[in-house]
Copies of this chain bind each other. A is one copy, B any other.
């Protein structure tokens, strides 16, 4: 079916290729530490040639972050459609995050690590997606709390969960550590049991 959306031009494909290399380079040396020359070397394209595809190094990072983030959010939405129970929905969130994280480890490091490298407009747009993603998780948490009649600080819970998950880029070793689904189960266990038991302020007790 011909249409507007599926016309992926040669330009788009070439740009996507370059972005792959850029992810590699930013992953390896950090956004500030990476130079356009590094990217030129990595892609085999001339310095000037790169600029045909994007207007600045900053925009390059922006494109990476946006695409990465949008994809993870979109996949989440897809998966959430099939999950109804509050707990299950949180587990879906975790699995989605970790699956994407591990299949796109380098991009995710660039997303996580270069959190505040973008300025002004670019930064604001990514921050907005991030906020949306955060609130999705926050909502899941509140649903869960309501369903279970629990009482805890959702903000802390969500941010702790993000911490657990995002920190992965600092330690994950493919050949040592389990795959995404097992990791999601383990982290899900820790997190969900953690926020579950007791939990009522005032009646908090030793574990």
Contact = CB atoms under 8 A, between A and B. Distances in A.
Interface of A: 30, 32-33, 87, 113, 115, 117, 152-153, 155-157, 159-168, 170-171, 177-178, 183, 185-187, 189-199, 204, 206-207
Contacts of A164: 160-161, 163-164, 167
Contacts of A168: 159, 163
B87 A207 contact: yes
Given A159-B171, A197-B197, 16 more contacts: A30-B117, A113-B113, A152-B186, A155-B177, A159-B167, A160-B186, A160-B187, A160-B190, A163-B165, A164-B164, A189-B194, A189-B199, A189-B207, A190-B190, A190-B195, A193-B196
A107 to B, nearest CB: 17
A189 B195 CA distance: 8
A207 B189 CA distance: 7
Contacts of A87: 206-207
Contacts of A152: 186
Contact of A177 (B156, B165, B206): B156
Contacts of A204: 185, 189
Given A194-B189, A194-B190, A195-B190, A162 B167 contact: yes
A167 B163 contact: yes
A38 to B, nearest CB: 13
Nearest to A159: B171
Given A163-B168, A164-B163, A156 B186 contact: yes
A142 to B, nearest CB: 16
13 contacts: A33-B117, A153-B178, A156-B177, A156-B183, A159-B168, A160-B186, A163-B165, A189-B204, A192-B194, A193-B193, A193-B197, A196-B207, A197-B197
A189 B192 CA distance: 11
Find the residue from A87, A159, A177, A178 having the highest chain B CB count within 10 A.
Answer: A159
B194 A191 contact: yes
